[in-house]
Amino acid sequence: MAKCQFRRKDSTRCRANAQPTNGLCVFHDPARAKDGLRARRAGGLSRTRAAAVLPIETPDHPLGTTKDVSALLGNSINQLRRGQIDPRVANAMGYLASVLLRALEQGPLEERLANLESILGKGSGGSQLFEFHGSDEATHGQTATTPEED
């Protein structure tokens, strides 16, 4: 397809596709100038539209468990489908929910690790429950000596 014949101030040509009737694109065709102005104005107006968000008095949703987060996501998906919340808001909520789910999974893991460390005596400085020996000691029945013992 032919390119627009319009030349810019820096003498480069417009790279938009030309109309077959006059060799100019729809943006540079003087006969369509009013259409272009109306389209640009409409594009600007749609960008200034307020995001669809929930009212300020909407109660907080519990988020303490993975079940709570799943319920929130389900409700949000339905609200998005009905046009009650903006897709950008829903996208942000989805991202934050995934971060929250990872944190909720991490908490019990950290508690279990702390319990294991306290049992093994690493967390509180207590005595060791298990004594580990090197491979030479286990196979020969001998204890290793340090240079101070010799």
The answer to whether residue 101 sits within a structural domain is: yes
Same domain, 35 and 78: no
Q: What is the DSSP letter of 8?
A: -
Euclidean distance between CA atoms 113 and 120, whole angstroms: 10
Average pLDDT, the chain: 80
The answer to whether residue 130 sits within a structural domain is: no
Q: In the chain, how many domains are there? A: 2
Same domain, 34 and 72: no
Please write down the long-range contacts of 125-129, taking CB distance under 8 Å and 24 or more positions apart: none
The answer to whether residue 93 sits within a structural domain is: yes
Q: Max alpha carbon distance in the chain (Å)?
A: 104
Higher pLDDT: 144 or 29? It is: 29
Euclidean distance between CA atoms 130 and 145, whole angstroms: 20
Is residue 127 pLDDT above 80, yes or no? no
Q: Which domain, by its residues, includes 88?
A: 66-120
Lowest average pLDDT, out of 12-16, 36-40, 81-85, goes to: 36-40
The answer to whether residue 131 sits within a structural domain is: no
Euclidean distance between CA atoms 122 and 99, whole angstroms: 30
Q: Which of 20, 33, 36, 37 is nearest to 4 (CA)?
A: 20
Return the residue matching tokens 């508690």: 111
The answer to whether residue 45 sits within a structural domain is: yes
The answer to whether residue 74 sits within a structural domain is: yes
Same domain, 70 and 116: yes
Which of 25-39, 62-76, 126-140 is the most confident on average?
A: 62-76
